[in-house]
Chain A
Amino acid sequence: MLPDVLKETAAAVDIDSRFPEAITGGHTERGEPTLFIAPAFIVEVCRFLKTEQRFVRLSSVTAVDWLPSEPRFEVAYNLHSLDRNERLRLKCWVSEAECEIDSVTGVWRAANWYEREVFDMFGIRFRNHPDLRRILMPTDWEGHPLRKDYPVHGYKYTYQNE
């Protein structure tokens, strides 16, 4: 269901007419349109945006941990179109229990490292990702540092035994 505030965003209207069930909400805050997409549709919507709406660039993929709310994680895709000089943000909610979402590496190869980073930092797995490994933390690291229940100083060290 497309909210009224997004009726003026051309890309949002086009997604809504093509995939009527994909959009679960959205808003335009401070001039930045944001669309909430049902996780099952994310790859199709992205492919549509890239091939037919000229959003050739995927600026970044990241996540936000909203502990203790459920679903816990919000995965954000920041898209950019050079021709239209426009930015668009897509968001998907991912629950802690499932903690999986489809990868968009098949649409933009740029997603590869960003999704690895989200996996590394939040522990969200991306289905069909070609090479889902940790990217910034060491391979034998335990835990996902950017989760809100992960202490800033890590699990291994405390200030007491320094």
Chain B
Amino acid sequence: MRELTTHTDSIAATDAVDLEHRLVETVPGTTRRMTLNMGPQHPSTHGVLRIVLELDGETILSAFPDIGFLHTGIEKECEVKTWQQAVTLTDRVDYLANLSNNLVYALAVEKLIGDIEIPPKAQWTRVMMAELQRLNSHLVWLGTHALDIGAMSVFFYCFREREDILRIFEMFSGQRMMTSYIRIGGLALEPPRGWQQVVGKFINAFPSKVDEYEELLDSNPIWMRRTQGVGITPLEDLLDLGVTGPMIRAAGVKWDIRKDEPYSSYDQFDFDIPTRTENDVYARYRVRLGEMRQSARIIKQALEGMPEGAWQADAPKIVLPEREKMKTQMEALIYHFKIVTEGFRVTAGEVYQAVESPRGEIAYYVVSNGTSRPYRVFMRTPSFGNLQALPALLEGRLLADSIASLGSMDFVLGDTDR
């Protein structure tokens, strides 16, 4: 660090805010201003997020998030894949919500196709998998958030349960993280034999695990001091800045896309939307723990009432035929050849489909021009929307609180940068 004589009031205007740490002394012996670069390798930024902080002592005067380090051009790449191939790219948007991304893409394309009916078993399995995914995401969030604040043991408890969920994903799809399990027209594979026992065993034990987390944190004096009254931002600001999901619900808005715009037969499930009114980091923690309990309820209902029947739509032009049919029926062989070589065509038009991901509203704007490849896939990802509120959460607060505030936003940088 070195002393600078020039005083910089704001660093917003400078292009690509320069990297060096500066110490600015306005009047000798009085306030010392410091520009501090947090990230992109800082552990509590949960990925490669860079924040340029301007500090006055320990108070944050301004915060400038700098994103784009993980930009991989997924939207561009979707345009050269066939409709079904692009499913594998949606996995890679958000490594903690890949099934939600699969689901929203499949729903959008199915809405574009129009005359395709997804059988109840596929819809219920989609719901069950998406909810397991929500548990997975919230567990990683809780573990790392607690670790940031200093409660290390919670991390191990959470990852113990997460391992069970990843095993279930592997059992269903053959993959632990990049599952690509939800496809256009249904599922990738038939649910495996004996899945009821595995999911049942996990979900019966899970509520008691949530009790354990609550016991560790709920009335833990350090946890409460670090989270209560921290990160409060007026609801109007949050809405205006495009924040969605648990952060909004912790500010008292009872808005959940699963209830308000039900998709994939969520309307047949019985669950509540946990809300709080305190609007601080602690409230966000309570909301997410409440959501874990509700997800467990949904999974239990899906397990008990899983409909029988087909797990793929009856649409030979879109869904690959069974192996046996392909070997014995000419027509099935032709469809198989067409789907694999060329892909299927989708009616021209556009769809904006939203679902509730663990982090908030995830919406895909899919445009088709009638060919076998997407013309444009825009991904409105919750982390991108939420991260915009970061300066509002940090400015004027203490530097130490920024770790708690950042953790409570629960963003994934892959999701932000796509």
Q: Which residues of A contact B (CB under 8 A)?
A: 29-30, 32, 34, 56-60, 62, 64-65, 76, 78, 82, 85, 87, 89, 108-110, 112-114, 121, 131, 133-139, 145-146, 150, 152
Are A87 and B255 within 8 A (Cβ)? no
List 6 additional contacts besides A85-B260, A134-B68; criterion CB under 8 Å: A29-B349, A57-B242, A62-B378, A108-B240, A110-B240, A113-B388
* Neighbour of A64 across the interface among B80, B363, B367, CB < 8 A: B367
Closest to A60 in B: B380
The answer, yes or no, to whether B95 is at the interface (CB within 8 Å) is no
Q: Which of B74-104 contact A (CB under 8 A)?
A: 75-77, 79-80
Residue of A nearest to B385 (CB): A110
Complex interface: chain B residues within 8 A of A152 (CB): 73, 76-77, 79-80
Per the 8 Å Cβ criterion, residues 382-415 of B in contact with A are 384-385, 388
Interface of B is mostly: mixed
> Of all chain B residues, which has the CB nearest A76?
B365
A64-B375, A89-B352 given as contacts; is B242 within 8 A of A135 (CB)? no
* Chain B interfacial residues counted at CB < 8 A: 43
Within 8 A of A (CB), among B348-365: 349-352, 354, 361, 363, 365
A135→B239 contact, CB < 8 A: no
A-B contacts, 23 of them at CB < 8 A, read A30-B112, A30-B349, A30-B351, A59-B361, A60-B363, A60-B365, A78-B363, A87-B352, A108-B242, A109-B237, A109-B241, A112-B388, A113-B384, A113-B388, A121-B75, A131-B12, A133-B15, A134-B68, A135-B67, A139-B16, A150-B76, A152-B79, A152-B80
Q: Which residue on chain A has the smallest CB distance to residue B367?
A: A64
Pairs of residues from A and B, 5 with the lowest C-beta to C-beta distance, nearest first: A110-B242, A60-B380, A136-B68, A136-B71, A62-B378
User: Which chain B residues lie closer than 8 Å to A56 at the CB level?
Assistant: 239-240
A residues less than 8 Å from B112 (CB atoms)? 30
Interface residues of B in 27-72 (CB under 8 A from A): 67-68, 71
Complex Cα distance A58/B361, Å?
12
Q: Say yes or no: A29 contacts B388, CB within 8 Å.
A: no
Query: How far, in Å, is A11 (CB) from chain B's closest CB?
Result: 15
User: Is residue B291 within 8 Å, beta carbon to beta carbon, of the partner chain?
Assistant: no
Is there an interface contact between A135 and B240, defined as CB atoms closer than 8 Å?
no
Min distance, Cβ B33 to any Cβ of chain A, angstroms? 21
Residue among B68, B79, B260, B367 with max Cβ neighbours from chain A (10 Å) = B68
Does the CB pair B380–A78 fall under 8 Å? Answer: yes
How many whole Å from B7's CB to the nearest CB in chain A? 21
B352 touches A139 (CB 8 A): no
In angstroms, how far is the closest chain B Cβ from the Cβ of A151?
10
A residues less than 8 Å from B12 (CB atoms): 131
Q: Is the CB of B240 within 8 A of A109?
A: yes
User: Which chain B residue lies CB-closest to A139?
Assistant: B16
